[in-house]
Structure 1
Amino acid sequence: MKKVAVLLAGGSGKRMGSALPKQFLTIGDKPIIQHSIEAFEKHDNIDEICIVIHADYHSEINELISKYNYSKVRYVLSGGKERSDSSLAAINAYEREQNVYLIFHDAVRPFVSSRIINDVISELQSGKSVAVAIPTTDTIFCLTQDETIESVPNRNLLRRAQTPQAFSYKVIKRAYDIAMADENFVATDDCGVVLKYLPKEAIHIVEGDESNIKITFEQDLLQGAQIADKK
C-alpha cells in the first residue's frame, strides 16, 4: 500500500491577522509549510506527498517545491472553503489508484516528528484507522446552551486532537461518499466524518507530542521559534 502524506494548507489564516496565509509565515529560517513538507519528504516510509492549498497560492508553493527539489510531491491541488473540501480534493485525486493510505496532516503543524509518522504508519499497516492525540492536563467543562456547567467529563478519557489523521483509501472514500449524500452534512475534520458516517470503524489513537503544535495565532509563532531552536 502506497503511503501518501496529504498536507492540508487551504486556510486563509485570517485569525493570524497577516496579509499572507499563515503557512507561508517564517519560523526559524523557512516558511511553516516548508517544515511540514520536509518532515514527510525526508521520512523513509512516505512514498508521496499531496499538497492542498488555496488556488491563489499555487505559484508560491510550486516555486518552493522546485527550489528545493522536493521529489515526493506529486500533486498540488486547490482546496475549498472548508477543511472537508480540501480532504475531498485529495481523495478524488487518488480515485484511480485506491490502493493507498491517506495520511492527512495540517500543514501548519510544522514539527510533526518521525516517531509520530512511524507510529501512524504502523497502525495503518495493521488495518486500523488512526488519529493522533495527547492527554489533556486541564479539567474540561461541558456547558449548557446558556453557558452554565452541565457536566465534568473524566479527564482520563479525554485527549487533545492533533494530526495526522490517517485511513485506508477505501475507508475514507466510503465515509465521504455517505457524507456527501447527506443534505445536512456539517463540515468537520476527517475523524469526525468517519465517526459519524462509519460508526463501526474504530479510530485508534497514536500518542502525539507537545511540540506538534498548530500555528493558529500570532503568539504561536514564538512558541514555534522556540521549538525550532531546539531541533
Structure 2
Amino acid sequence: MRPRVIAAILAGGVGARMGASSPKQLLPLAGRPVIEHTIAAFEACPDVDEIIVLMVREHLEYVRGLVAEAGFGKVGAVLPGGATRTDTSMAALAAMEHAADTDLVLLHDAARPLVRPATISACTAALREAGAVGVAVPSSDTVVRVAPGRSGGQVIAHVPPRDELRRMQTPQGFRLGVIRRAYESAMADPHLVATDDCGVVLRYLPEEEVRIVPGEEGNIKVTNPGDIEVAETLLRRMREHTGPTGAKA
C-alpha cells in the first residue's frame, strides 16, 4: 500500500504586518477567505488523503463552520495553532500521533492560497526518493550578506553566487519519521529558533538530504498590505488558463 499523505495547513499566526483587524488567512480574496482557497487546493489534489487545519484559537469555530459549509471532505480536524511557527508545526505533528513513520506530511502556509495541486503532487512524488523536500524558486535578485561598517552603518560583506540561491515557499514535505526525529532533537536544544521546517531537518538531521521541488512565482504569501490585490490579479490570470482548482483547462 502507498503511504498516506496528510497535509497540515498552518494558520496559527495573526499576520500583524497586514495591519488588519482579522488574521490575514481570513481576509477576503475573490469573495472567499484566503484560507478557503488554500484548503481547496489540497482538497483538489488526488494525492492528499487527509487535511488538518491549525488555526488561531479565537477563530476556530469560524473556520470549522467554513469547512463544513464548503464541504471539504478531506479535512479531518481544525485545531488550535501555537504561539510560534515552530509550536504550530509541532501541534500538527502531535495531531498525527497515530500515523505511521512511513506516511507523508505536507506542511503549508495558510497564507499561500495560490498553490497549485500540481505543485503539491510534485512534492509527494519527490518524497518517494527523499525524506524531506521543499518548494523553492530561483532568486531573481542579487542577495548580499552585510556586516557593520568601520564608520557606522552596514556594508556588503559577501555576494553569494545567484545561481546557488533559491527563495523557499511551501509546501514543505517529509516522511513523517524524518520530521518527527528532527523535532525531537530540536526540542532538546535550548537555543532553538526555527521559522522553517526544512531548516529544522537541515540543522538537526544533517545526514538527511532536503530535495528541492521547483515552485512557481505565483505561489505568493499574503504578508503585507497590497498582497491581497496582487493575489487577486494572479488568481484571475490563473482562472483564465486553468480550471478553478488549478488543473489545466
TM-score normalized with structure 2 length: 0.90
Mapped to 2, the partners of 1:26 and 1:50 lie a distance apart of 21
Mapped to 2, the partners of 1:151 and 1:55 lie a distance apart of 43
Counterpart of 1:163 in structure 2 is 170
Mapped to 1, the partners of 2:174 and 2:52 lie a distance apart of 15
Counterparts in 2 of 1:194 and 1:145: CA distance versus 1, 3 Å: farther
> Which of the residues 123, 138, 149 maps onto 1:120?
123
Cα distance, 1:82 vs. partner?
0.8
Mapped to 2, the partners of 1:158 and 1:109 lie a distance apart of 21
In structure 2, what residue type is equivalent to 1:136? S
Structure 1 gaps of 5+ residues are none
Q: Percent identity?
A: 41
Cα distance, 1:93 vs. partner?
1.1
* Contact kept? 2:38, 2:113, Cα under 8 Å: yes
Counterpart of 1:52 in structure 2 is 54
Counterpart of 1:109 in structure 2 is 112
Asked if residue 61 in structure 1 is aligned to residue 68 in structure 2, the reply is no
* Contact kept? 1:9, 1:51, Cα under 8 Å: yes
Deviations 1:18-66 (A, max 9, x none): 0000000011121100000000011111100011111111111001011
Counterpart of 1:207 in structure 2 is 214
TM-score normalized with structure 1 length: 0.97
Structure 2 gaps of 5+ residues are 240-249
Mapped to 1, the partners of 2:223 and 2:74 lie a distance apart of 27
Asked if residue 225 in structure 1 is aligned to residue 225 in structure 2, the reply is no
Deviations 1:169-198 (A, max 9, x none): 100000000110111111321011111100
Mapped to 2, the partners of 1:33 and 1:43 lie a distance apart of 16
Cα distance, 1:79 vs. partner?
1.1
In structure 2, what residue type is equivalent to 1:50? I
| Greater than 3 Å deviation, 4+ residue runs | none
Larger Rg: 2
Cα distance, 1:89 vs. partner?
0.5
CA RMSD of aligned residues (A): 1.0
> Which of the residues 130, 133, 141 maps onto 2:133?
130
Mapped to 2, the partners of 1:110 and 1:12 lie a distance apart of 16
Asked if residue 184 in structure 1 is aligned to residue 187 in structure 2, the reply is no
* Contact kept? 1:36, 1:108, Cα under 8 Å: yes
The number of residues matched between the two structures is 231
Counterpart of 1:37 in structure 2 is 39
Asked if residue 12 in structure 1 is aligned to residue 25 in structure 2, the reply is no
> Which of the residues 142, 146, 150 maps onto 1:143?
146
